Amino acid sequence: MAEVRGSNTWRDELASLVEDTGVRYVVDPIMVSTPSYEAATIGTDYVSDELRSEKSEPVESLKDQVKGFAMAWGEILMELGRGCRDIVQQSFLTEDSYVVRKLQKPCARAVAKLRYIADPFDYGGFLILGHEYGLSRMRLSQSDTVMNAMNVNNKDGSLVPPVKKVRIHLPNATRILLPDGRHMAYLEQGVPVDRARFSIISPHSFLSSRLAGIPGIKMSLLEEFGIRLVTYDLPGFGESDPHPSRNLNSSAFDMLHLADAVGVSDKFWVLAHSGGGMHAWAALKYIPDKVAGAALFAPMMNPYEPGITKEEMTRTWENWLPRRKFMYFLARRFPSLLSSFYHRSFLSGKLDRIDRWLSFSLGKKDEILIEEPKFEELWDRNMEESIRQGNEKPFIEEARMQVSDWGFRLSELQVQRRCQGRGILPWLRSMYSQAECEQTGFLGPIHVWQGMDDRVVPPSMADYIARVLPETIVHKLPNEGHFSYFLFCDECHRQILSTIFGTPQGPVINNDEIEQTTSEENEQENS
């Protein structure tokens, strides 16, 4: 019996194949008892003490044996993995190893190209890719935790300022009722309607609102030129009701209804900046008889415009960050996927810099400008108003319209002489009768101001506009960016208004003011 008890069991043999890991098993070794025939046939009173002690020990079941076998093999595999890990670390992952020296630069380039996926301010690309390839939300939440931990300290080791939260302000806009039952919110600046010498209607750009207008323009300057500036919220933005199926045609007629509702009896000017340019182009196309002229600042055109050449497209797209190109691709092909990105960025309830929310790369002057408190104050308030309704649909619509078929080409706005009918006879008649021919396109002036250091709307877009609309007056601005000439620049604003309207003549003097002035002069003479 002593030989059986002292022999090595299968568990001991397995344990001898690996080093001591410090793990101890509390289960007793398997005991094999071999009672004699006599001991089995005699009564319990005559059983020896040795046999009695063996019978009292419980026999290990098959389940316990399988469990012990699995634990032992797991221990072996664990030790094997540790050994392989140590070999790899010591042989391949040192700074002077062959593998690290060969893969270091290619890996760095790959990370630089794909950094927009892991950008702490742009989780949208990662989230969208996660949906497409079936990644679990658990991994996304883990990435959030990692990013938050990485951003606890900045480069200087100091704490990052607390994240600013979006505040929703009480409604205070003036609204009109449109023919289809929707309400449109608008804002008036400058002189009143009865004294306005010129009227300007301004659609806003993406992630903006009626509060933008001409940022930083002085009311005294508008009065000096006799200008009435009317800005409004696009459908679904600010306090304007959403449109069930809007396009650029409906956008132009919304502008027309607004002009009629606020008492613009004569033609008005259209002024737009950046993404608001497509609504200005739509007005020139669909309601040209109501538009006196257009003033466009870094106007964004459709980057997929059919008439653009390969060289112009290359010069345009090479200025944009990879994640911005990715967002344009989604807006054109899979616009519904933009919802996740928007809710992770500007619809998240947080405030951040404009270049981070919209994936911009800015020039030197723009970088300086957006750091100024007056720009930050305007941007925060304007963005809060833009996302007031908390709905991603109008933003998706705006992004989709920007890169989809506009329903017309810019070249169609070029002034052309078109005669009725085709063939030789109509052409011969047109030689003698001017009544049968008419001019098509937009007949009014078009001014485009383009910063040559603009990386949001690159100068190649202004070059394309000048090519397809040769009568457009393009003002190229050296060293200016996307915002630096249009925002908070008193001298620039004066130059702009002087270029469009000439010498300032002040507001229109109405009959009541003439009578009041005359009566005051008479009273002074009588006294």
pLDDT reading at 65 higher than 50: yes
Q: 98 forms bridges with which residues in the sheet?
A: none
Q: How far apart are CA 517 and CA 264, in angstroms?
A: 26
Using alpha carbons, select from 206, 208, 335 the residue that is nearest to residue 278.
206
pLDDT value at residue 277: 97
Tokens representing 417?
């002489």
DSSP code of residue 153: B
- pLDDT of 342 above 50: yes
Cβ neighbours, 10 Å, residue 264: 19
pLDDT bracket for residue 20 (50, 70, 90):
very low
Q: Which residues pair with 477 in a beta bridge?
A: 451
**pLDDT for 429 beyond 80:** no
Lowest mean pLDDT among 271-275, 434-438, 466-470: 434-438
Phi, psi of 295 (to 5 degrees): -120, 110
Rounded to whole angstroms, the Cα distance separating 506 from 227 reads: 8
pLDDT grade, residue 10 (50/70/90)?
Answer: very low
Contact 270, 422 (CB under 8 A): no
Collapsed DSSP state (helix, strand, coil) of residue 238: coil
90 alpha-carbon distance from chain centroid: 45
Q: Which of these, 510, 506, 509, lies nearest to 225 by C-alpha position?
A: 506
Closest CA to 407 of 284, 510, 297, 527: 284
pLDDT at 523: 67
Distance CA 227, CA 199 (A): 6
State both tokens at 223: 């009065």
Range with the largest mean pLDDT of 106-110, 419-423, 512-516: 106-110
Rounded distance, CA 379 to CA 138, Å?
Answer: 34
Positive or negative: CA dihedral 386, 392, 394, 397? positive
The owner of tokens 């930050």 is 376
The pLDDT assigned to 46 comes to 39
What is the mean pLDDT of the segment spanning 302-327? 92
Given pLDDT bands bounded at 50, 70 and 90, which one contains residue 317?
Answer: very high
Find out whether 169 and 238 touch, Cβ atoms under 8 Å. Answer: no
**Half-sphere exposure of residue 421: CA atoms within 13 angstroms, side-chain side:** 10
Q: Per residue in 392-421, pLDDT tens?
A: 999 999 999 999 999 999 999 998 877 665
Q: What percent of the chain has pLDDT over 70?
A: 64
- Tokens 């939300």 sit on residue: 137
As a whole number, mean pLDDT of residues 8-17 equals 45
CB count, 10 Å around CB of 188?
16
Name the nearest CA neighbour of 122 among 388, 391, 348, 300: 348
Model pLDDT for residues 356-376, shown as the tens digit of each residue: 888 888 999 999 999 999 999
**H-state helical runs in 336-450:** 338-344, 354-357, 364-370, 373-386, 393-403, 424-432
Q: Which residue has the tokens 């033609």?
A: 267
Q: How confident is the model at residue 8 (pLDDT cuts 50, 70, 90)?
A: very low
Tens digit of each residue's pLDDT (9 = 90 or more) over 479-495: 999 999 999 999 999 99
Residue bearing tokens 């800005």 = 231
Q: Which residue has the tokens 């098959």?
A: 62
User: Helix, strand, or coil here: 111?
Assistant: helix
Q: Provide mean pLDDT across the span 235-260.
A: 97
CB 232 within 8 A of CB 260: no
pLDDT for residue 118 is more than 50: no
Closest CA to 213 of 382, 327, 92: 382
Distance (Å, rounded) from C-alpha 186 to C-alpha 204?
11
To which residue do tokens 């009701």 refer? 241
Separation of alpha carbons 527 and 523, rounded Å: 6
